[in-house]
Amino acid sequence: MQDKNKQEKDNTGDKINDFIQRNRKVIFAVSGVIVILFIGAVVYFALNDSMSKKAAGSLEDLTARYDELKTHSHDDGHDHDGHDHDIDEHDHDLDGHDHDGEIDAFLDELKVFAGKTRGISGSKAWAMAAEIYTERKDWALAEEAFISSARAGEKTYLGPLSYFNAAAAAEEQGKYEDAVELLQKALSLKIEFPSAPRAQFAIGRLYEKLDNTSLAIAAYREVMDKWQELPAWQQLAQSRITALETK
């Protein structure tokens, strides 16, 4: 029995050796490809990590510069209550610095960085640009920048938040249907979104502005169905449903 088992093992070994000899070129080629792919994956993840850290560092620098620009603008051109000082017609300080011009130059640099950066750093950069446009009440550009922020950070918490803010900018322009679509995008992302009930309620409110009572009621009912643990939103939604149904 032992001799038979030994013979079977020897035969199996011979077959494997014969297979390797006959197919050694293919085996070596496949092994080489696997090694190359492994090395490529290691290099890719190393470069990706390095680029992410570099982008985060650049974003920190941009954020610090923007905070400084905002501080100078408030100190030199406005008081703490938001009233303009009588310096001159433009936003210049006593040394002749043009803060609007400085922010415009910063904004151009910020958008270049945001345009070539993905992930959370790119999303935050677009959101910073959107904040500047929002402060200027340039709602069209604010909406565009918030949408870019959402797309760059769609897999992060900034995705739904940016779509939500883009909807607010669209509403400021009277683009109610676009605002509804943006809110629906915010709600469709599979990411935790604390403002989800507010977004759903806003959809109902926008449908009211569009004189679409049936869709408004449906939107409010969805608030009641999905967020039963939030009594405040339950009461608000129910009050709007009652008001619309008794018109």
Contact assessment for residue 167 and residue 185, using Cβ atoms and an 8 Å cutoff:
no
What are the pLDDT tens digits along the chain (247 aa)? 555 555 555 566 566 667 657 666 565 555 444 444 443 433 323 333 344 455 566 777 777 878 777 776 655 554 444 444 333 444 444 344 556 788 899 999 999 998 888 788 999 999 999 999 999 999 999 999 999 999 999 889 999 999 999 999 999 999 999 999 999 999 999 888 999 999 999 999 999 999 999 999 999 999 999 999 999 999 999 999 999 999 8
Burial of 2 (C-beta count, 10 Å sphere; 0-12/13-18/19+): exposed
Contact assessment for residue 131 and residue 67, using Cβ atoms and an 8 Å cutoff:
no
Return the closest-CA partner of residue 56 out of 145, 131, 119, 150.
Answer: 119
Q: Which parts of 116-212 fold into alpha helices (H)?
A: 119-135, 139-152, 158-172, 176-188, 196-209
Contact assessment for residue 159 and residue 182, using Cβ atoms and an 8 Å cutoff:
no
What token pair was written down for 4? 């038979």
In the chain, the amino acid numbered 207 is Y
Q: What is the pLDDT of residue 98?
A: 59
Crossing angle for the helix pair 119-135 and 99-115, nearest 10 degrees? 150
Any idea where the domains of the chain sit in the sequence?
A: 9-149
